[in-house]
Protein backbone atom coordinates (compact mmCIF):
# COMPACT_ATOMS: atom_id res chain seq x y z
CA UNK A 1 0.00 0.00 0.00
CA UNK A 2 1.38 3.36 -1.02
CA UNK A 3 1.13 6.30 1.37
CA UNK A 4 0.17 9.81 0.34
CA UNK A 5 3.29 12.04 0.43
CA UNK A 6 1.35 15.31 0.75
CA UNK A 7 1.92 15.86 4.47
CA UNK A 8 5.57 14.81 4.20
CA UNK A 9 6.15 17.35 1.43
CA UNK A 10 4.29 20.02 3.42
CA UNK A 11 6.33 19.22 6.54
CA UNK A 12 9.61 19.61 4.68
CA UNK A 13 8.51 22.78 2.91
CA UNK A 14 7.09 24.41 6.05
CA UNK A 15 10.28 23.60 7.96
CA UNK A 16 12.40 25.35 5.34
CA UNK A 17 9.98 28.29 5.16
CA UNK A 18 10.04 28.59 8.97
CA UNK A 19 13.83 28.70 8.87
CA UNK A 20 13.83 31.40 6.18
CA UNK A 21 11.30 33.48 8.10
CA UNK A 22 13.28 33.10 11.34
CA UNK A 23 16.39 34.25 9.47
CA UNK A 24 14.52 37.28 8.10
CA UNK A 25 13.21 38.13 11.56
CA UNK A 26 16.69 37.93 13.07
CA UNK A 27 18.04 40.13 10.28
CA UNK A 28 15.23 42.65 10.78
CA UNK A 29 16.07 42.79 14.49
CA UNK A 30 19.72 43.40 13.69
CA UNK A 31 18.83 46.11 11.15
CA UNK A 32 16.59 47.74 13.75
CA UNK A 33 19.38 47.85 16.31
CA UNK A 34 22.36 48.72 14.11
CA UNK A 35 20.57 50.91 11.53
CA UNK A 36 22.93 50.20 8.62
CA UNK A 37 20.67 52.14 6.24
CA UNK A 38 20.65 55.32 8.30
CA UNK A 39 17.39 57.24 8.03
CA UNK A 40 16.15 55.29 5.00
CA UNK A 41 14.23 52.86 7.23
CA UNK A 42 11.98 54.09 10.00
CA UNK A 43 12.45 52.21 13.28
CA UNK A 44 8.70 51.77 13.76
CA UNK A 45 8.36 50.19 10.33
CA UNK A 46 11.28 47.83 10.91
CA UNK A 47 9.88 46.92 14.35
CA UNK A 48 6.49 46.08 12.85
CA UNK A 49 8.16 44.03 10.12
CA UNK A 50 10.36 42.25 12.68
CA UNK A 51 7.35 41.27 14.81
CA UNK A 52 5.22 40.25 11.84
CA UNK A 53 7.92 38.07 10.30
CA UNK A 54 8.57 36.49 13.71
CA UNK A 55 4.85 35.66 13.93
CA UNK A 56 4.95 34.17 10.43
CA UNK A 57 7.99 32.10 11.47
CA UNK A 58 6.05 30.78 14.46
CA UNK A 59 3.10 29.95 12.22
CA UNK A 60 5.31 28.09 9.75
CA UNK A 61 6.95 26.24 12.65
CA UNK A 62 3.52 25.22 13.96
CA UNK A 63 2.54 24.07 10.47
CA UNK A 64 5.78 22.06 10.30
CA UNK A 65 4.88 20.24 13.51
CA UNK A 66 1.22 19.72 12.58
CA UNK A 67 2.06 18.25 9.19
CA UNK A 68 4.63 15.92 10.78
CA UNK A 69 1.92 14.62 13.12
CA UNK A 70 -0.50 14.18 10.21
CA UNK A 71 2.04 12.38 8.01
CA UNK A 72 1.65 8.61 8.02
CA UNK A 73 5.20 7.73 6.95
CA UNK A 74 6.54 8.35 10.46
CA UNK A 75 4.79 8.13 13.83
CA UNK A 76 4.97 11.49 15.58
CA UNK A 77 2.62 12.38 18.42
CA UNK A 78 1.62 15.74 19.83
CA UNK A 79 3.69 14.89 22.90
CA UNK A 80 6.76 14.51 20.65
CA UNK A 81 6.25 18.12 19.55
CA UNK A 82 6.24 19.36 23.13
CA UNK A 83 8.78 17.19 24.95
CA UNK A 84 12.33 17.29 23.56
CA UNK A 85 13.98 13.97 22.84
CA UNK A 86 10.82 11.81 22.77
CA UNK A 87 10.77 11.42 19.01
CA UNK A 88 12.52 8.18 17.96
CA UNK A 89 13.86 9.73 14.73
CA UNK A 90 17.19 11.43 15.54
CA UNK A 91 16.05 12.34 19.07
CA UNK A 92 18.89 14.76 19.85
CA UNK A 93 18.49 16.83 16.69
CA UNK A 94 14.70 16.82 16.72
CA UNK A 95 14.78 17.60 20.45
CA UNK A 96 16.95 20.63 19.72
CA UNK A 97 14.29 21.75 17.24
CA UNK A 98 11.56 21.37 19.87
CA UNK A 99 13.52 23.44 22.41
CA UNK A 100 14.26 26.09 19.77
CA UNK A 101 10.58 26.34 18.80
CA UNK A 102 9.52 26.69 22.44
CA UNK A 103 12.18 29.35 23.05
CA UNK A 104 11.12 31.16 19.88
CA UNK A 105 7.55 31.26 21.21
CA UNK A 106 8.78 32.60 24.56
CA UNK A 107 10.78 35.37 22.87
CA UNK A 108 7.79 36.30 20.70
CA UNK A 109 5.44 36.45 23.71
CA UNK A 110 7.96 38.74 25.41
CA UNK A 111 7.20 41.45 22.81
CA UNK A 112 3.88 42.12 24.51
CA UNK A 113 5.34 41.72 28.01
CA UNK A 114 8.22 44.16 27.66
CA UNK A 115 6.83 46.72 30.11
CA UNK A 116 5.90 44.04 32.62
CA UNK A 117 9.28 42.26 32.62
CA UNK A 118 11.34 45.40 32.16
CA UNK A 119 13.44 46.53 29.22
CA UNK A 120 16.67 45.05 30.59
CA UNK A 121 15.17 41.58 31.15
CA UNK A 122 13.45 41.79 27.78
CA UNK A 123 16.80 42.53 26.09
CA UNK A 124 18.44 39.63 27.91
CA UNK A 125 15.68 37.31 26.78
CA UNK A 126 15.98 38.65 23.24
CA UNK A 127 19.63 37.58 23.15
CA UNK A 128 18.24 34.04 23.16
CA UNK A 129 17.29 34.64 19.54
CA UNK A 130 20.87 33.84 18.57
CA UNK A 131 20.48 30.51 20.34
CA UNK A 132 17.16 29.89 18.59
CA UNK A 133 18.74 30.62 15.22
CA UNK A 134 21.74 28.36 15.94
CA UNK A 135 19.51 25.57 17.28
CA UNK A 136 17.15 25.77 14.32
CA UNK A 137 20.14 25.62 11.98
CA UNK A 138 21.51 22.54 13.74
CA UNK A 139 18.03 20.97 13.80
CA UNK A 140 17.54 21.52 10.09
CA UNK A 141 21.00 20.38 9.05
CA UNK A 142 21.08 17.27 11.25
CA UNK A 143 17.46 16.08 11.05
CA UNK A 144 16.32 17.53 7.74
CA UNK A 145 15.99 15.02 4.95
CA UNK A 146 16.82 17.58 2.26
CA UNK A 147 20.11 18.87 3.70
CA UNK A 148 22.19 17.04 1.10
CA UNK A 149 20.47 18.91 -1.73
CA UNK A 150 22.78 21.71 -2.91
CA UNK A 151 20.08 24.40 -2.83
CA UNK A 152 19.11 23.51 0.77
CA UNK A 153 22.73 23.48 1.88
CA UNK A 154 23.13 26.84 0.11
CA UNK A 155 20.11 28.16 1.99
CA UNK A 156 21.71 27.24 5.33
CA UNK A 157 25.10 28.67 4.35
CA UNK A 158 23.49 31.88 3.05
CA UNK A 159 21.37 32.31 6.19
CA UNK A 160 24.35 31.76 8.48
CA UNK A 161 26.46 34.15 6.40
CA UNK A 162 23.80 36.85 6.47
CA UNK A 163 23.28 36.62 10.24
CA UNK A 164 27.03 36.53 10.96
CA UNK A 165 27.62 39.53 8.68
CA UNK A 166 24.77 41.54 10.20
CA UNK A 167 25.95 40.64 13.71
CA UNK A 168 29.51 41.68 12.90
CA UNK A 169 28.23 44.96 11.47
CA UNK A 170 26.25 45.56 14.66
CA UNK A 171 29.24 44.75 16.85
CA UNK A 172 31.89 46.63 14.88
CA UNK A 173 30.12 49.73 13.57
CA UNK A 174 28.89 52.09 16.26
CA UNK A 175 25.31 53.23 15.73
CA UNK A 176 24.88 56.78 14.50
CA UNK A 177 23.94 59.17 17.22
CA UNK A 178 20.60 60.85 16.92
CA UNK A 179 20.79 64.33 15.39
CA UNK A 180 19.53 66.09 18.52
CA UNK A 181 22.24 64.49 20.68
CA UNK A 182 24.91 65.56 18.17
CA UNK A 183 23.73 69.15 18.38
CA UNK A 184 23.82 68.99 22.19
CA UNK A 185 27.38 67.70 22.12
CA UNK A 186 28.43 70.37 19.60
CA UNK A 187 27.19 73.18 21.87
CA UNK A 188 28.93 71.92 25.01
Q: Counting Cβ atoms within 10 Å, is residue 104 exposed (0-12), middle (13-18) or buried (19+)?
A: buried
Q: For residue range 94-122, list pLDDT tens digits in order.
A: 999 999 999 999 999 998 898 999 989 99
Give me the residue spans of the domains in the chain. 6-187
Q: What is the pLDDT of residue 170?
A: 86
Residue 1 in 3-state DSSP? coil
What is the chain's mean pLDDT, rounded?
Answer: 88
pLDDT for res 35: 73
pTM: 0.88
Tell whether the model's pLDDT for residue 174 goes beyond 90.
no
Q: What is the pLDDT of residues 5-25, one digit of tens each?
A: 899 999 999 999 999 999 999
- Looking at the chain, the number of H-run helices and the number of E-run strands are 9, 0
pLDDT of residue 2: 65
Q: Report CA-CA distances (Å) from 185 to 35, 175, 176, 182, 188.
A: 21, 16, 14, 5, 5
Q: What is the DSSP string of 91-144?
A: HHHHHHHHHHHHHHHHHHHHHHTHHHH-HHHHHHHHTHHHHHHHHHHHHHHHH-
pLDDT at 168: 92
Overall average pLDDT of the 152-156 stretch = 96
| Residue 188 predicted with pLDDT over 60 | no
Output the pLDDT for position 17.
98
CA atoms 101, 107, 111, 113: torsion sign: positive
The answer for residues whose C-beta is within 8 angstroms of residue 187's C-beta and 6 or more apart is: none
Amino acid sequence: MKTDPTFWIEARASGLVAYLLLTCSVLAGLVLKSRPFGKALKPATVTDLHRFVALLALGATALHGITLVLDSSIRITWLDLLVPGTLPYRPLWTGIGVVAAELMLLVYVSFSQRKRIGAQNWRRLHWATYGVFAAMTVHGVMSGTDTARPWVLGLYVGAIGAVVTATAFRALVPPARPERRRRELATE
